[in-house]
Structure 1
Amino acid sequence: MKEKHSFNFLVGVIIGVLVAMLVWYWQKSTRAEDGALALLDRLKDAEQKVREVSVELVRGETAVSLTPPPADDLQQVKGIGPVFADRLQSENITTFTGLIGLTADQLAEILGIRLGRAETILIEAKQVA
């Protein structure tokens, strides 16, 4: 009799494990589907936004400024003369903001000067701006 009880117990444990695995798998798959559906919703919203913006662009309702900002007189910066100003303009650096946005290494390479001098010019540019 005892053998029958242990057999029934093992069968019950195996069935319980199988049921637990099925429930776990079902929950995992539905969570993945929910995540995929959420991503599809976000994709649909993004595509709708792209369509709206492209329609606005076709109609010309969106104003886009294509004019560059007015150029600053970079020669106001101590250490920048007409030659250095021309070199900076050839690299499309025409404003104090563009000049300040450079690193000392980049400025030294553009102007062909020492790193220390480039650092000094950047300090002066920050004061002028």
Structure 2
Amino acid sequence: MNGLTGLTVLLLLTTLCLSFAQEKGIVEVFYARQPTIAAPQGSSVKLSCEARYDLLLCDHVHAVWNHDQQPCTSPRKYFTTVNETISEDGSMRRRQVLTEIMDLTPEDDGQYQCKAVCENGETAMGHIITINVQG
């Protein structure tokens, strides 16, 4: 996606690539590998990840995108939607987190990573994505 221009650079990271979990099967984070994104100042970027977790071992999970290890939660800067589905047998949940970083500025340069934390403390994190704001 390097070199794309326009008001919106869409990075729809799907559930295909990489998972890290302290204990496999309790909570895992998935999204496609995209190491660096170059986006023009004033545009927006969307980041998407999916946290999968065992409902019996993790009753609830909190999943969020982080920028330089800080949660992307400011409503003036980030627009986040969450969608959750339950497997047919009711044992697994999938929580999709889509965060749009609006009106990119040089302060948005840096490393982004999706993090999921079960209420029992189990944590999973995806790989790091670097955003370079141009202009």
Normalised to the residue count of structure 2, the TM-score between the two structures is 0.22
The structure whose residues are more often helix, as a share, is 1
**Higher CA-based Rg:** 1
- Does 1 or 2 have the higher relative contact order (CA < 8 Å, sep 6+)? 2
